[in-house]
């Protein structure tokens, strides 16, 4: 959440006993401010420790500020300052500091930070990937390749009967054969391909069958992930949990054996980080088999997210221990796989030399810089000796690399004023675009002195942008921006909405993410197109629930693109996932919807309520509409300081019920959608529905700016103002005017952030 | 039957026990209160497995009785002559699904049929896991259920060169129907389970000086204002160093764990060292009283270990298929089985040299070791005349002899039953009840 923004927000606290008798006839705002307000807010609005400690800044128009001071300040006696006095004080505040946040900001600079969890995992995976090659899906045909055999038991493949692509593994053969013409008593099927999870996190895989099976997911050493080839013909379900990084393909293989069992069936499902179990849908499978990658299975403590984005500014013993275990895990893996990583084998005469070279490169890539001879001796050569087995030396080197501050604090060099160090830029490019380390290509270019001119670096930034890791990082941003990250799926009352299943909720989530992925990377949409959301991805389940006709096309994913207007949608905030995930189990929630819309779509700053108020159905007349109930609940002036925005932006969505279905009346009464919304310029706008709200949002500079800055923080994990040369105002204007697509925005932010402070070679 | 009236020795005899197991019995039944010792004698069981059958002609003693002779394979065990009991004429009579290797392995300690399944071997019908618990786990459950015999782990299952797969050829211990127990086949894993991650801690500590140097170097290059995090980091490193130096997981143990060599890979060629390490860890775990039951499984049924250390480059199972007239194969198989006997001798020696903590005698006096195999003979795949070499006095059997287990066709279930009875767990049957005719063997 945007806590910092809340803190910046205007709040007047106690003013201590200053006598109001001596009010000057001429209303001097400054004098009145000093008299009534300064004791708590500071003489220059800077805040007072133990009173109101935050600066007096915000995005309200002056008219609203006057109204607020008039009605609520000073808060121990709101009658003390009223009318013209409130007017004078508010205008003084407004012109002198309320609208000038820069007055209160110390010139911040890039802070030393450790790798965040995401950066850590990406970096370690890519470190090993440098040697084995990145698994890439270059021929993305969806589904898994199935080889069907007539067989005699699990370990005898007698004769291949057929080969075909299966979209999902969900078969009930009963007492029949898998395919016509096969022996129904004895057969086996071997499915293989890749799985491409979209989000990072823990995935639990389940295989259910009365027959024998073996599941392997991303396995490079040891036996299968689930080994159940021995069977007693009893239906059972086995599971295994794995951490996977989103946006990367992993090899998957399912071997299935039926032998004489009376029944045959097989089902492959999973539970994704968002938590609902489902048959793995077709759009996650690809027929191409990629090599396995190393993915750390170590649990890492959560990063500090108090500023609205994850950053590595804190360390403690839990983190130290967790990263130590992660380093150990990686070191043992490296020891076991050193021959493959170094491209050698135990019959190779140059084995030791090749393993040394691998180790040197590993340190080089992990530290993101060139090492001196002295350093190579210390980190690599000193670890080898004749009485230590080779793999122990490799383990030590990997452990040293991953525990070192040179690996863990990726931007430390940038803080040492290395404005001509190409490694600094390369490090930042990889970090900002991918959350990872520079790849081999970047290293090669630096070594060949081809990475110091602006066109070199910009060209490489473009290459990085087109790598799937950029897409994965942007996906991660949107999960956060859309309030989806680590959130449960919307779960509505089965009594009120019996047809709103968890499967539908999963489809809605997928629909939104699929659209974002396609529209940003393939159609290169702009900010306004993003907000307006003209197309929607629709599954069969969605079509049936929302009453649409569904014509399946050839693609295996089960999603087709439709005009959003067919679904009566008027913008991103009317996507049924967003509506349903911002609802109560039985009713729409204008407050939740309003908060989301005000913050994300309109870029407004909201502070958390002074005290939490629980909304309780039972407190209200059941015949009232939600609008009436919320209006009643938030009518106090204190509440209304923010709820005027929240309620307005939530009430315009009341023509959608909790499931996101359109409605025109509630309990026989037509819905009143009209609201008055006070924008950040102090202009009162009349919205007659969600369409008007979006029309305003695409015109709002504030809206674009807020998005640009939030994306930037997500890319760099640093405060916006740490980067001297980036003109966020201009970028926001370009975004608003459609001169930059969102994809280009990602590029600009990553490139400008990475090269900030670097002096290009002319 | 009024048990209090019967003669104590004959009662025990009926149960197939000698007076050595009396204290345990008396604890559980409280029949012989006056004999109840202040501290019960510990009883431990180790089952060692080697695969692919033996070479009967070089294994079985000709003579029955105390003056049995040690043929080539059993030669290394000669020093333990008086503490050994060689059981002849015991057969794995479990029928049903599964080839002989499979039933040999998975019915060896369970004495019960395999479920029909889809694991297809070299002959007979395919099969699945066995239908019941194995005797080691049965005894483990029994001992763990009682306060006085409960230990930290109860049972430990060690593997040596066991492949990373789960099928009826690779598992011999079972917690019940369809519940195979996986052995710890890497000594480092066993070590970690028993003593914590000491190896990792040493490894980490070995790089901490480098790390401190690194932190200092990086910090020195940074502006003063950016050093705070690195100073904190250095404090964390010092803290970890101190904590890891203590080896906190090693407190409260009776004896230090054996020294593990650095970086011994779990590979075929290292089987001799891996096996010795597992034995060292096993005995150490007993000294620390972590468990009373252990299994030690070399390879697996149909195991293909290549015993290069014996100058044998053929795979074990392939070799075991060779006919007797193939002298080269015959001689190699004798060497292979002799090598297993040497490993057993190492284990017995170790137990003999280890005093039983808190009690009289050596650990071997309190332990019964059973060396067995899934087949009687490799090339015939017979399940008759399964090798059962017992050693140690832990179960109160009369040792120092070879023993012909009656003239009738004895199912090995009777031995399994005797084991349960010897720890004071007088089961009526174990495994397939029809194979328990005659009850426990009379080994007292």
Same domain, A155 and A121: no
Q: Which residues in chain A are contacts of B221 at CB distance < 8 A?
A: 412, 416
**What are residue A255's DSSP bridge partners?**
A190, A214
Is residue B220 one of the residues assigned to a domain? yes
Partner-chain contact A320 B166, CB within 8 Å: no
Is the Cβ pair B263, A412 closer than 8 Å?
no
The answer to whether residues A127 and A148 belong to one domain is no
Q: How far is CA A316 from the centre of its chain?
A: 25
Q: Please, are residues B48 and B422 in contact by the beta-carbon 8 Å criterion?
A: no
A385 and A261 both lie in a single domain? no
Confidence of residue A625 (pLDDT cuts 50, 70, 90): confident
Considering A12-21, A54-63, B382-391, the range whose residues carry the highest mean pLDDT is B382-391
More confident residue, B246 or B251: B246
Q: What is the mean pLDDT of residues B379-403?
A: 96
Question: Do residue B57 and residue B127 come from a single domain?
Answer: yes
Identify whether the C-beta of residue A82 lies closer than 8 Å to the C-beta of residue A288.
Answer: no
A419 to each of A78, A413, A425, A452, how far by Cα in Å? 55, 10, 9, 11
B203–A154 C-beta distance less than 8 A: no
Those residues whose C-beta lies under 8 Å from the C-beta of residue A486, and which sit 6 or more positions away, are A273
Reading the block at residue B142, the tokens are: 């029994």
- For residues A578 and A683, membership in a common domain is answered with yes
**Domain assignment present for A464:** no
Note whether residue A551 is domain-resident: yes
How far apart are alpha carbons A616 and B40 in whole angstroms?
66
Lowest pLDDT segment from A220-234, A497-511, A652-666, B175-189: A220-234
In a domain, A522, yes or no: yes
Nearest CA in chain B to A391: B263
What does the DSSP 8-state code read for residue B50?
A: -
A324–B240 CB contact, under 8 Å: yes
Q: What is the arithmetic mean of pLDDT over A455-479?
A: 95
Q: Which of B240, B270, B300 is the last residue in one of the domains? A: B270
Same domain for B60 and B148?
Answer: yes
CB-count exposure of residue B99 (10 Å: 0-12, 13-18, 19+): buried
Give A43's Cβ-side CA count (13 Å radius): 1
Q: Which stretch of A198-207, A484-493, A658-667, B117-126 has the lowest confidence by average pLDDT?
A: B117-126
Q: At residue A55, does pLDDT exceed 90?
A: no
Evaluate if residue B215 carries a pLDDT over 60: yes
Asked if A451 reaches chain B (Cβ–Cβ under 8 Å), the answer is: no
**Cα–Cα distance measured from residue A566 to residue A537, given in angstroms and rounded to the nearest whole number:** 12
CB A236 within 8 Å of CB A263: no
Chain B CB contacts of A155 under 8 Å are: 119-120
DSSP string, A388-455: S-HHHHHHHHHHHHHHSHHHHSTTGGGGGT-TT-HHHHHHHHHHHHHSS---HHHHHHHHTT-SSBHH
Does residue B258 lie in a domain region? yes
Question: Which chain B residue is nearest to residue A336, measuring alpha carbons?
Answer: B265
pLDDT score recorded for residue B164: 79
Q: Which of A154, A405, A411 to mutate to test the interface with B (most CBs of B within 10 A)?
A: A405
Return the pLDDT at B267. Answer: 86
Average pLDDT of chain B to the nearest whole number: 88
pLDDT band for position A633 (cuts 50, 70, 90): confident
- Asked if A403's CB is within 8 angstroms of B207's CB, the reply is yes
Specify the number of domains making up chain A: 4
| A324:B265 CB<8 A | no
In a domain, residue A732? The reply is: no
Could you tell me where the DSSP H helices lie in B65-164?
100-106, 135-144
Q: What is the mean pLDDT of the segment spanning B141-147?
A: 95
- Determine the pLDDT at residue B33: 33
Please report whether residue B171 resides in a domain: no
Q: What is the pLDDT of residue A133?
A: 83
Q: What is the ipTM of this complex?
A: 0.85
Distance CA A154, CA A447 (A): 53
**Domain of B196, in residue numbers:** 181-270
pLDDT at A25: 43
Average pLDDT, stretch A106-127?
Answer: 90
Please answer yes or no on whether B210 and A324 come within 8 Å at the CB atom. no
Omega of the bond prior to A74 within 30 degrees of 0, cis?
Answer: yes
The domain that contains A193 carries what CATH number?
2.60.120.1560
Give the best residue of A229, A230, A338 to mutate against chain B (max B CB count within 10 A): A230
Confirm if B139 and B420 have CB atoms less than 8 A apart.
Answer: yes
**Domain presence at residue B293:** no
Of A154, A234, A396, the CB nearest to B118: A154
What residues in B contact A227, CB-CB < 8 Å? 165-166
Range with top average pLDDT, A82-96, A450-464, A473-487: A450-464
Q: Which A residues, 202 through 221, put their C-beta within 8 Å of a C-beta on chain B? A: 211-212
% chain A with pLDDT above 90: 62
Residue A331 in domain: yes
Locate B48 and state its tokens: 């060692």
Q: Are strands A264-271 and A201-209 parallel, antiparallel or unpaired?
A: antiparallel
**Which pLDDT belongs to residue A157?**
73
Q: Which of A210, A171, A237, A224 is nearest to B118 (CA)?
A: A210
Q: A318 and chain B: CB distance < 8 Å anywhere? A: no
CB pairs below 8 Å between A and B: how many?
Answer: 139
Q: How many domains does chain B have?
A: 2
**Interatomic CA distance for residues A736 and A41, integer angstroms:** 35
Contact B263 A211 (CB under 8 A): no
Positive or negative: CA dihedral A231, A232, A237, A239: negative
Same domain, A522 and A632: yes
Quick one: closest CA in B to A232, which residue? Answer: B117
Alpha-carbon distance of B119 to A255, in angstroms, equals 13
Angstrom CA distances, B126 to A182, A291, B62, B167, B173, stand at 20, 33, 37, 12, 20
Distance CA B364, CA B362 (A): 5
Interface membership of A369 toward B (CB under 8 Å): no
**pLDDT, tens digit, for every residue of A283-316?**
899 999 999 999 999 989 888 887 778 889 889 8
In eight-state DSSP terms, residue B211 is: H
Contact B56, B385 (CB under 8 A): yes
The answer to whether residues A366 and A127 touch, using CB atoms and an 8 Å cutoff, is yes
* Winning range, highest mean pLDDT, from A117-126, A127-136, A720-729: A117-126
- Same structural domain, A68 and A160: no
Tokens of A199: 């989000």
A403·B236 Cβ contact <8 A: no
pLDDT of A554 reads 65
Degrees, nearest 5: CA angle B184-B187-B191 = 90
Q: Which residues on neighbouring strands pair with residue A203, listed in sequence order?
A: A242
Chain A interface, mutation test: which of B101, B117, B209, B270, most A Cβ atoms within 10 Å? B117
Which positions ≥6 away from A491 have C-beta within 8 Å? A502, A505, A585
pLDDT, averaged across chain A:
89
Instruction: Answer with the one of B227, B242, B270 that is the final residue of a domain.
Output: B270
Q: Could you identify the residue written with the tokens 């991918």?
A: A434
In a domain, A647, yes or no: yes
Which residues form the domain of A646?
A: 502-699
DSSP state of A601: I
Give the DSSP per-residue string, A303-351: PB-TTSS-B-----HHHHHHHHHHHHHHHHHHHHTHHHHHT--TT-TTH
- A395 touching B (Cβ < 8 Å): yes
**pLDDT confidence bin for B39, thresholds 50/70/90:** low
The two tokens of residue A160 are 């291949």
SS3 B184: strand
Instruction: For residues A602-623, give the mean pLDDT.
Output: 78
A403:B211 CB<8 A: yes
Do A269 and A372 belong together in one domain? no
Interface of A with B in 398-417 (CB under 8 A): 399-400, 403-406, 409, 412, 415-416
Structure tokens at B428: 């009526």
Domain boundary pick from A378, A410, A442: A410
Residue B7: CB partners within 8 Å, gap ≥ 6? none
**What tens digit of pLDDT does each residue of A338-381 get?**
999 999 998 999 999 999 999 999 999 999 999 999 999 999 99
A575-599 pLDDT per residue, tens? 999 999 999 999 999 999 999 999 9
Scanning every residue of chain A, which has its alpha carbon at the shortest distance from the alpha carbon of B264? A389
List the single residue in A154, A222, A317 with the smallest CB-CB distance to B239: A317
Question: How close is the nearest chain B Cα to the Cα of A261, in Å?
Answer: 7
Expressed in percent and rounded to 5, the helix, strand and coil fractions of chain B are 40, 15, 45
Torsion sign across C-alpha atoms A608, A613, A614, A620: negative
A273, A174: one domain: yes
Domain annotation covers residue B116: yes
DSSP assignments along B395-409, one per residue: T----SEEEE--SS-
Is the pLDDT at A500 greater than 90, yes or no?
A: yes
Record: contact B166-A331, CB cut-off 8 A: no
Contact across the interface for A317 and B129, Cβ inside 8 Å: no
B273 and B264 Cβ atoms separated by less than 8 Å: yes
A377 vs A609, more confident: A377
How far off is chain B from A403, nearest CA to CA, in Å? 7
Domain ends where: B218, B240, B270?
B270
For residue B365, is it within any domain?
no
Burial category of A565 from C-beta neighbours within 10 Å (exposed 0-12, middle 13-18, buried 19 and up): exposed
Q: Which two tokens stand for residue B53?
A: 């059958």
Give the whole-angstrom CA distance, residue B144 versus residue B156. 13
Q: Which residue of B has its CA nearest to A319?
A: B236
The answer to whether A415 contacts B222, with C-beta atoms less than 8 Å apart, is yes
Among candidates B190, B230, B310, B394, which has minimal Cα distance to A113?
B230
Q: What is the pLDDT of residue B28?
A: 37
Q: Is residue A633 part of a domain?
A: yes
- Which of B198, B207, B215 has the most A C-beta neighbours within 10 Å, making it the best mutation to test the interface with A? B207
Residue where one domain finishes, among candidates A377, A410, A443: A410
Residues of A in Cβ contact (< 8 Å) with B116: 232-233, 260-261
A108 at B interface, C-beta within 8 A: no
Q: How far is CA A418 from CA A412, A414, A423, B330, in A?
A: 10, 6, 9, 73
Per-residue pLDDT for A14 more than 80?
no
pLDDT at A535 over 50: yes
| pLDDT, mean of residues B94-106 | 94
Query: Within this chain, do residues A280 and A316 fall inside the same structural domain, yes or no?
Result: no
Cα A675 to Cα A693: distance, rounded to the nearest angstrom: 10
Give the pLDDT of residue B252.
Answer: 58
Is residue A713 a part of any domain in this protein? no
Q: What residues of B are in contact with residue A152 (Cβ under 8 Å)? A: 120, 126
Q: Are residues B148 and B53 in the same domain?
A: yes
Q: Residue A460: what pLDDT?
A: 97
CATH code assigned at A35: 1.10.760.10
Among A699, A716, A735, give the residue marking a domain's end.
Answer: A699
Distance from CA of A226 to the nearest CA of B (A): 10
Pick from B119, B218, B239: which is nearest to A154 by CB?
B119
Backbone angles phi, psi at B154, to 5 degrees: 80, -60
């Amino acid at each position: 959440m945007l806590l910092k923004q809340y803190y910046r927000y205007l709040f007047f606290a106690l003013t201590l006993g200053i006598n109001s008798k001596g009010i000057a006839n001429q209303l001097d705002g400054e004098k009145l401010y000093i008299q009534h307000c300064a004791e708590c807010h500071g003489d220059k609005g800077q805040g007072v420790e133990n009173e109101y400690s935050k600066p007096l800044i915000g995005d309200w128009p002056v008219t609203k500020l006057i109204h607020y001071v008039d009605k609520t300040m000073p808060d121990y006696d709101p009658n003390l300052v009223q009318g013209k006095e409130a007017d004078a004080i508010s205008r003084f505040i407004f012109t002198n500091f309320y609208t000038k946040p820069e007055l209160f900001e110390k010139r911040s600079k890039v802070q030393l930070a450790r790798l965040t969890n995401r950066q850590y995992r990406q970096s370690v995976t890519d470190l090993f990937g440098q040697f084995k090659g990145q698994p890439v899906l270059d021929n993305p045909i969806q589904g898994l390749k199935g080889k069907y055999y007539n067989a005699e038991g699990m370990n005898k493949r007698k004769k291949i009967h057929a080969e075909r692509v299966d979209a999902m593994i969900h078969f009930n053969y009963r007492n029949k054969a898998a395919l016509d013409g096969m022996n129904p008593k004895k057969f086996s099927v071997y499915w293989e391909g890749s799985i491409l999870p979209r989000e990072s996190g823990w995935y639990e895989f389940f295989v259910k069958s009365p027959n024998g099976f073996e599941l392997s997911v991303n396995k490079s050493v040891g036996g299968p992930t689930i080994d159940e080839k021995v069977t007693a013909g009893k239906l059972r379900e086995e599971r295994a949990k794995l951490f996977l990084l989103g946006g990367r393909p992993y090899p998957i293989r399912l071997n299935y054996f039926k032998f004489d069992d009376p029944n045959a069936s097989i089902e492959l499902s999973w539970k994704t980080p968002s938590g609902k179990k489902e048959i793995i849908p077709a759009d996650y499978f690809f027929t191409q088999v990629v090599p396995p990658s190393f993915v750390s299975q170590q649990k890492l403590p959560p990063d500090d997210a108090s500023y609205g984005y994850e950053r590595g500014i804190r360390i403690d013993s839990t983190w130290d221990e967790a990263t130590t275990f992660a380093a150990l895990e990686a070191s043992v893996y490296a020891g076991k796989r050193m021959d493959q990583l170094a491209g050698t084998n135990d019959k190779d005469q140059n084995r030791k030399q090749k393993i040394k070279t691998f180790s040197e490169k590993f340190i080089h890539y992990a530290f993101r810089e060139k090492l001196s001879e002295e350093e190579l001796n210390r980190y690599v050569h000193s670890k080898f000796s004749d009485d230590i087995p080779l793999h122990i030396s490799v383990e030590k080197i990997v452990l040293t690399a991953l525990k070192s501050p040179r690996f863990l604090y990726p931007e430390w060099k940038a803080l040492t004023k290395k404005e001509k160090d190409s490694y600094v830029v390369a490090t930042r490019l990889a970090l900002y675009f991918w959350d990872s380390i520079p790849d081999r290509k970047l290293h090669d270019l630096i070594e060949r002195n081809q990475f110091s001119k602006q066109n070199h670096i910009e060209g490489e930034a473009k290459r990085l942008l087109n790598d799937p890791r950029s897409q994965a990082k942007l996906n991660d941003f949107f999960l956060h921006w859309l309030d989806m990250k680590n959130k449960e799926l919307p779960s509505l009352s089965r009594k009120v909405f019996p047809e709103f299943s968890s499967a539908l909720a999963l489809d809605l989530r997928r629909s939104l993410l699929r659209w974002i992925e396609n529209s940003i990377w393939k159609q290169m949409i702009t900010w306004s197109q993003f907000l307006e959301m003209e197309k929607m991805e629709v599954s069969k389940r969605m079509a049936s629930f929302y009453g649409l006709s569904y014509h399946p096309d050839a693609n295996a994913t089960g999603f087709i693109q439709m005009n959003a207007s067919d679904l009566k949608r008027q913008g991103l905030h009317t996507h049924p996932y967003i509506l349903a995930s911002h609802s109560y189990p039985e009713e729409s929630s204008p407050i939740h919807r309003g908060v989301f819309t005000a913050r994300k779509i309109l870029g407004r700053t909201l502070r958390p309520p002074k005290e939490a108020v629980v909304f309780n159905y039972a407190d209200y007349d059941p015949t009232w509409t939600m609008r009436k109930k919320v209006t009643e609940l938030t009518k106090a002036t204190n509440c209304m300081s923010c709820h005027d925005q929240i309620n307005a932006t939530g009430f315009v969505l009341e023509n959608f019920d909790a499931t996101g279905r359109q409605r025109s009346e509630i309990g026989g009464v037509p819905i009143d959608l009209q609201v008055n919304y006070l924008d950040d310029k102090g202009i009162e706008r009349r919205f007659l529905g969600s369409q008007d709200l979006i029309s305003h949002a695409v015109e709002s500079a504030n809206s674009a700016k807020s998005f640009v800055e939030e994306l930037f923080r997500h890319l760099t994990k640093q405060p916006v103002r740490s980067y001297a040369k980036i003109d966020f105002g201009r970028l926001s204007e370009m975004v608003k005017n459609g001169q930059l697509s969102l994809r280009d925005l990602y590029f600009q932010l990553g490139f400008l952030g990475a090269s900030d402070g670097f002096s290009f070679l002319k | 039957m009024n048990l209090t009236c019967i003669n104590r020795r004959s009662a025990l005899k009926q149960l197939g026990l000698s007076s050595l197991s009396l204290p345990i019995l008396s604890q559980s039944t409280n029949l012989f209160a006056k004999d109840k010792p202040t501290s019960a004698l510990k009883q431990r069981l180790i089952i060692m497995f080697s695969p692919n059958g033996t070479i009967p002609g070089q294994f079985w003693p000709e003579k029955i009785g105390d003056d049995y002779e040690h043929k080539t394979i059993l030669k290394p065990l000669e020093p333990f002559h008086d503490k050994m009991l060689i059981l002849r004429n015991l057969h794995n009579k479990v029928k049903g699904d599964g080839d002989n290797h499979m039933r040999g392995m998975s019915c060896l300690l369970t004495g019960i049929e395999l479920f029909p399944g889809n694991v297809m071997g070299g002959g007979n019908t395919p099969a699945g896991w066995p239908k019941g618990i194995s005797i080691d786990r049965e005894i483990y459950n029994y001992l763990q259920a009682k306060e006085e015999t409960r230990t930290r782990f109860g049972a430990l299952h060690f593997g040596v060169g066991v492949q990373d797969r789960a099928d009826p050829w690779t598992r011999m211990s079972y917690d019940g129907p369809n519940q195979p127990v996986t052995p710890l086949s890497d000594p480092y894993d066993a070590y970690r389970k028993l003593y914590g991650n000491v190896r990792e801690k040493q490894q980490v500590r070995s790089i901490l000086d480098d790390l401190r140097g690194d932190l200092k170097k990086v910090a020195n290059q940074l502006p003063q204002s950016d050093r705070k995090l690195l100073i904190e980091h250095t404090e964390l490193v010092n803290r970890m160093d101190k904590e890891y130096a203590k080896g906190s997981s090693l407190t409260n143990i009776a004896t230090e764990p054996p020294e593990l060599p650095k970086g011994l890979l779990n590979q075929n060629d290292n089987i001799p060292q891996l096996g010795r390490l597992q034995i060292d860890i096993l005995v150490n775990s007993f000294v620390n009283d972590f468990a009373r039951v252990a299994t030690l499984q070399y390879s697996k049924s149909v195991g293909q270990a290549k015993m290069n250390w014996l100058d044998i480059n053929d795979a074990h199972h392939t070799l075991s298929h060779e006919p007797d007239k193939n002298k080269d194969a015959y001689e190699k198989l004798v060497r292979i089985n002799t090598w297993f006997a040497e490993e057993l001798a190492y284990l017995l020696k170790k137990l003999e040299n280890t005093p039983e903590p808190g009690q009289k005698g050596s650990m071997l006096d309190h332990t019964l070791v059973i060396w067995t195999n899934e087949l009687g003979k490799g090339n015939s795949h017979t399940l008759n005349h399964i090798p059962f070499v017992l050693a140690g006095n832990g179960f109160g059997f009369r040792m120092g002899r070879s023993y012909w287990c009656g003239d009738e066709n004895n199912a090995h279930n009777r031995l399994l039953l005797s084991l349960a009875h010897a720890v004071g767990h007088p089961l009526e049957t174990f495994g397939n009840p029809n194979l328990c005719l005659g009850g426990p063997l009379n080994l007292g």
